[in-house]
Structure 1
Amino acid sequence: MAQEVRSPDLGGDPAPGEGRSRRSIVIAIGALLLGMLLAALDQTIVSTALPTIVSELGGMEHLSWVVTAYILASTAGTPLWGKLGDQYGRKKLFQAAIVIFLVGSALCGIAQNMPQLIGFRALQGLGGGGLIVLSMAIVGDLVPPRERGRYQGMFGAVFGGSSVLGPLLGGLFTQHLSWRWVFYINLPIGIVALFVIAAVLHIPARATRHTIDYLGTVLIASVATCLVLVASLGGTTWEWTSPQIVGLAVLGAVLLVCFVYVERRAAEPVLPLKLFRIRTFTLVSVISFVVGFAMFGAMTYLPTFLQVVQGVTPTASGVHMLPMVVGMFLASTTSGQIVSRTGRWKVFPIAGTAVTAIGLLLLHRLTEHSSTWQMSVDFFVFGVGLGLVIQVLVLVVQNAVSYQDLGVATAGATFFRSIGASFGVAVFGAIFTHGLNSQLDSALAGQSLPPGTGPEQIAADPRAIAELPSELQPSVVHAYATSITDVFLYAAPVVFVAFVVAWFLKEDKLRGSVTAPDASQTLASNPVERSSYEECARALSVLGSRKGRREIYERITARAGLDLLPAASWLLLRIRRHGTVEPARLAETTPVPLRAITEASRQVEERHLARREGLQLILTDDGVEAAAKLAKAREDSLAELLGDWWGPERPTDLVQLVEELTAELNGSDAERPHLPDPPRDHRA
């Protein structure tokens, strides 16, 4: 999460995408997508398998740690993978992450008890964090800035698809093969990715030196672990006033003080404390924590409700979860687009937290007699609430910070969502376990029970319910239902706190370069780890899309005071760059349609801005003047999107990014454009 200190590339290194065939890039991207798919699926595929896992291995009270161990390990490892990849080469580190992930997956598959599974899940999470952060970073090594938005959109689609496929695949494997195949399935996919990466991924080794904050990383992970242990073990395994819980709480507080001390002196802190001086960042961090708390806590325990209480199969429980995922996608996509187009965003954190709280209250009302229709509606409402807020939080925090802090601020906000996720799963688990034990004791008190069907056995293995006398089974199922749905009732006030906090957000004007984040920034359980340069390139690269190109040429044509088709402006700038252009060949070498090129050619000739010499178009004197106006307007427009980031002290890498994107808008890197000076009324 620390801010990257960029150093210039070594002389002679090719630019991203230079010297590589389209086929080799596509194959390499495909292998990276496989690696990303592994990590993304493992955040969701386990949820529908959890009830079966705890039934076989025992220990329902440890269910939450199967999820929490993965999240904590991936969260702690993410910043280290990013820095080590910069320092020692991303290809080697990516291969190492795959190996660690596959070893963890294989060990999870052969685990014989819950402690083993939890430990192996932590190892798997450590590799998973590396897969996500390094695969996204390698895209920047393979393709130029203009194309990154398209390719990173594919990675976002993988996250979106895994949110849908994960619960379904987890249910299918559990029901028709074994829960162990939830982990074994990673092995063939990972091995293919490993060999393809070794064979086709060739990226220059750019050694960027970092002062890696190992101590800060260990301390913040330790603080989070202490808090999660207190939340999950307090009142269940140990009393709240027991020496163990008090000791863990005190240790967590001491480690937090040490963390603050270390971060104030770290050269590249894992979480820069200066960010908390920015009011918007602090408020967004609180809301992100709560959103992660509710989102992953609910996603972990809803499959247990469906399978144990409703009696549906693991596969069917994955299908039942779809309305929540659909609601989340629809709301997040819609809110992100509305904010990007209107610049108004404050309504979404407020509405999102309110709807999420309502969704939790609806989930609390579910019983063993609830219909599929009622559950689907309640799941959908809950998903819509999450979707309304998760997209906007990343966008808001990016809009509130300086360019230098763009990367670390994004990582910071998503870090708190990750910690909230692990904390939420643990708290949900503690409330569920405590409530279940109490409910089962009440339901079975004074009853004559078959051997192996006491409250402790039923709490550890839901399959024991089937061994009870038929007249006792409804009360035990009701105990499970009440214990799970009570969790949502306790979570509602926590989300209400986020609703109150959201009202204090200040709706600053949205910077033009801040665009809706992709799914990898909003759905992942581990923090985003990108430098400021990479974040800005991701956002601005939308201009390289066909729609974005048309919009920007409409804007710069108007800005230049010319009455031309967008394609005609593009054609004039193309001729200006290359001297001559053959329109018939442009359709073969550029993504602009032939019809648009033909109409543009006709217009520039009719306006006497260009003349024919054989098959070639050459600028006239009037055309030279018009093209110069367009070039200036194009450069001004792109820099204007950066708002107050484009100030007198703008960093070199930002200047380089704008130069690259400006040149690439015409499909060539031959020209280094003159960039405009910052506005005189710049505010820092």
Structure 2
Amino acid sequence: MTHREVLRALSGLLMGMFVSILAGTVVSTSLPLIIADLGGSQSSYTWVVTATMLAMAVSTPVWGKLADIFNRKLLIQLALTVFVLGSAAAGFSHNTDFLIAARAVQGLGAGGLAALSQIILADIISPRERGRYAGLFGAVMAVGSVGGPLLGGVITDAFGWRWNFFVAMPVAIAALIMLQLTLHLPQHDRPKPKIDYLGAVLITSGVSLLLIWVSLVDQQFAWASVETASMVIGAVLLLVAAVITELRAENPMVPMTMFRDRTFTLAVVASLAVGVSMFGTAVFLAQYMQLARGATPTESGLLTIPMMAGLLTSSTFFGQFITRTGHWKPVMVAGSLTAVVGSAMLGMLDGDSPIWFVSIAMLVLGAGLGMLMQNLVLVVQNSIPVENLGAATSAVTFFRTIGGTIGVSVLGSVLALQVKDRIAEGIATLAPEQQAQAAQALSSGSVPKIADLPPAIASIVEHAYGASIGHLFLLTVPLTLVTVVAVALLPRQDLGTLTAVQARQQAEPVGAGAAGLEDPTATQPTDRAAGEDADETSVPATMRS
């Protein structure tokens, strides 16, 4: 494919990714207000985020395996539709329980979009050339990530928070149309659709039970309790049964043989730690800005720009660097070390930290994550056999989401306890009449609206959230050190110059997989005019069709 053809094929894919990012980030700055408006608690705040990531995590391996069996174009359109329906349902939420359920539906669609976009990208762009398109994906990520909170803040302040969930629907409809018109994938001989239903059920049940326990422990029951023992033992037994099933299945949902690949295993370990930094920072920075610094949703969105600017700049620049030189490992090692520095800087925050220091800390962490996230998927796709491309790609995304889900749940539990203790300590220093006033204002246990609190009580709440959230970021530093070790141990391997489609065609018998296309709207490329995109046609003619 020429550069022009790749851009056409990526147009609908990028729009679908933009919708998923926008729908997730547009509510981040208004989430404290949403939870307060619906009368939710800190536990509800955490669960609104956790439900999406839980559904995303358990569905990602299923989407990835289905991509190795069925029409990938149809699957990504289905995932986008599910995501949009979940977003629309969330807009009509009347309590936090309904909102959590709607966000879970969003997560099911997001799991498909996250996995399938990377899988289809490997179909049409070789590992060596993928860096030159990192700018496009970085731009979409930055616009969705930076523009989302800003747009969400403006919409919330002007029209109310419910419109945050409806704003992405026109873009989603346009994305569905563009995917239909521009994405045409060559057909290949697929295995017969033998789906490992038992493996899917066991993996989903085991992971779900584990993550639900992490979300509820120390909030609704103690660590040392009958509930903890039953849920942990149940999750372990389900996951052990899943491993046994996957080892014996003819067409396993998650092929265990992939873990024999050193690159895949180390990338999975790194993805777990990266997930905590990425999701945890995004979730709790919004609370820090609004509850510790008294910012409005719009101001909160503006204040998070440095992190996304760092991510966009580093992913674009180093993506081009990797394409030119082929040297990916120094970039990833430097990115992991940068993430350690950024996490440590955020760990120094309190309610009085200068905004310029907060901005630099976010910029540094964003730059480190930008050098890591896409490249972890890249090195796995470069080393794994093409027949397991979908399963391997989704597995990296799966473990990154698992890390983020567990991280947000655990950090949310720690935050709730620390905030409660610090608020109690602060109230004890007030005069008796102010203590009674504080007890009445904070008795519901829900996330407070700072603007509605008396100044003395608001100051105590801001200090409690500022110091507690800074401590949370400090807890992520050991995990980023794990990323440094995992990335440093990755074996050096040259990036391939074939797309997944070309590699698959080489592996198939002569003539196999070349008879048709995945959708009837696709057409075989015609001969190009002399000189057209000459610099893009370096692939030998025998590898083009």
TM-score norm. by structure 1 comes to: 0.66
User: Do structure 1's residue 389 and structure 2's residue 372 form an aligned pair?
Assistant: yes
Query: Is contact 1:34-1:193 (8 Å) kept?
Result: yes
Query: Is contact 1:453-1:467 (8 Å) kept?
Result: no
Instruction: Please point out which of 36, 55, 61 is paired with 2:36.
Output: 55
Does the residue aligned with 2:436 lie in a helix, a strand or coil? coil
Query: Is contact 1:59-1:114 (8 Å) kept?
Result: no
Offset of 1:401 from its aligned partner? 3.7
**Closer/same/farther in 2, CA of residues 177 and 392 from structure 1, 3 Å limit:** same
The aligned residue for residue 101 of structure 1 is 83
Instruction: Please point out which of 446, 450, 456 is paired with 2:437.
Output: 450
User: Do structure 1's residue 422 and structure 2's residue 405 form an aligned pair?
Assistant: yes
1:477-517 CA-to-partner distances (Å, cap 9, x unmatched) read 101111211111111122223323334333x24234389xx
Q: How far apart, in 1, do the equivalents of 2:75 and 2:372 lie?
A: 34
The aligned residue for residue 229 of structure 2 is 246
The aligned residue for residue 533 of structure 2 is 591
Instruction: Please point out which of 299, 310, 326 is paired with 2:282.
Output: 299
Instruction: Please point out which of 447, 452, 468 is paired with 1:461.
Output: 447
Instruction: Please point out which of 63, 68, 86 is paired with 2:50.
Output: 68
Offset of 1:117 from its aligned partner? 0.7
User: Do structure 1's residue 187 and structure 2's residue 176 form an aligned pair?
Assistant: no
Give the aligned CA root-mean-square deviation in angstroms: 3.8
Offset of 1:88 from its aligned partner? 6.3
Offset of 1:391 from its aligned partner? 3.5
What one-letter code is carried by the residue in structure 1 that aligns with 2:95?
A: N
**Closer/same/farther in 2, CA of residues 101 and 413 from structure 1, 3 Å limit:** closer
**Closer/same/farther in 2, CA of residues 153 and 129 from structure 1, 3 Å limit:** farther
Query: Is contact 2:291-2:461 (8 Å) kept?
Result: no
**Closer/same/farther in 2, CA of residues 343 and 456 from structure 1, 3 Å limit:** farther
Instruction: Please point out which of 465, 469, 474 is paired with 1:489.
Output: 474
The aligned residue for residue 18 of structure 2 is 37
1:444-481 CA-to-partner distances (Å, cap 9, x unmatched) read 23653338745443x51321x44444333322210111
Offset of 1:286 from its aligned partner? 0.7
User: Do structure 1's residue 210 and structure 2's residue 193 form an aligned pair?
Assistant: yes
**Closer/same/farther in 2, CA of residues 186 and 469 from structure 1, 3 Å limit:** closer
Does the residue aligned with 1:462 lie in a helix, a strand or coil? coil
Of the structure 1 ranges 124-133 and 265-274, higher mean CA displacement relative to structure 2 is found in 124-133
The aligned residue for residue 457 of structure 2 is 472
**Closer/same/farther in 2, CA of residues 380 and 235 from structure 1, 3 Å limit:** same
**Closer/same/farther in 2, CA of residues 210 and 327 from structure 1, 3 Å limit:** same
Query: Is contact 1:350-1:503 (8 Å) kept?
Result: yes
**Higher RCO, Cα 8 Å, sep 6+:** 2
Q: How far apart, in 1, do the equivalents of 2:502 and 2:399 lie?
A: 21
The aligned residue for residue 375 of structure 1 is 358
Offset of 1:299 from its aligned partner? 0.7
The aligned residue for residue 174 of structure 1 is 156
Does the residue aligned with 1:499 lie in a helix, a strand or coil? helix
The aligned residue for residue 316 of structure 1 is 299
Instruction: Please point out which of 487, 492, 495 is paired with 1:511.
Output: 495
Query: Is contact 1:233-1:245 (8 Å) kept?
Result: no
Query: Is contact 1:280-1:397 (8 Å) kept?
Result: yes
The aligned residue for residue 543 of structure 2 is 660
The aligned residue for residue 575 of structure 1 is none
Does the residue aligned with 1:217 lie in a helix, a strand or coil? helix
Query: Is contact 1:99-1:127 (8 Å) kept?
Result: yes
1:161-194 CA-to-partner distances (Å, cap 9, x unmatched) read 3122222222222222211111111333334555
What one-letter code is carried by the residue in structure 2 that aligns with 1:660?
A: M
The aligned residue for residue 655 of structure 1 is none
The aligned residue for residue 628 of structure 1 is none
**Closer/same/farther in 2, CA of residues 140 and 401 from structure 1, 3 Å limit:** closer
Query: Is contact 1:89-1:207 (8 Å) kept?
Result: no
Offset of 1:360 from its aligned partner? 1.6
- What number of residue pairs does the alignment pair up? 513
Q: How far apart, in 1, do the equivalents of 2:117 and 2:236 lie?
A: 35
Offset of 1:224 from its aligned partner? 2.5
1:241-282 CA-to-partner distances (Å, cap 9, x unmatched) read 121122211111111101101110222222221122222322
Structure with higher Rg: it is 1
Does the residue aligned with 1:212 lie in a helix, a strand or coil? coil
Of the structure 1 ranges 436-445 and 388-397, higher mean CA displacement relative to structure 2 is found in 388-397
User: Do structure 1's residue 283 and structure 2's residue 266 form an aligned pair?
Assistant: yes
Offset of 1:336 from its aligned partner? 3.2
Q: How does 1:537-556 map to 2 (within 5 A)?
A: none
Q: Percent identity?
A: 38
The aligned residue for residue 125 of structure 1 is 107
Query: Is contact 2:58-2:208 (8 Å) kept?
Result: no
The aligned residue for residue 409 of structure 1 is 392
Offset of 1:29 from its aligned partner? 6.7
**Closer/same/farther in 2, CA of residues 536 and 414 from structure 1, 3 Å limit:** farther
1:283-317 CA-to-partner distances (Å, cap 9, x unmatched) read 22111110111111111110110111111221121
Instruction: Please point out which of 522, 530, 533 is paired with 2:501.
Output: 533
Q: How far apart, in 2, do the equivalents of 1:384 and 1:355 lie?
A: 7
Does the residue aligned with 1:362 lie in a helix, a strand or coil? helix
Offset of 1:364 from its aligned partner? 1.9
Q: How does 1:356-367 map to 2 (within 5 A)?
A: 356-367=339-350
Query: Is contact 1:88-1:207 (8 Å) kept?
Result: no
Q: How far apart, in 1, do the equivalents of 2:328 and 2:12 lie?
A: 36
What one-letter code is carried by the residue in structure 2 that aligns with 1:278?
A: D
Does the residue aligned with 1:42 lie in a helix, a strand or coil? helix
Offset of 1:151 from its aligned partner? 8.8
Query: Is contact 2:310-2:367 (8 Å) kept?
Result: yes
Q: How does 1:545-624 map to 2 (within 5 A)?
A: 586=530, 590-592=532-534
The aligned residue for residue 223 of structure 1 is 206
Does the residue aligned with 2:343 lie in a helix, a strand or coil? helix
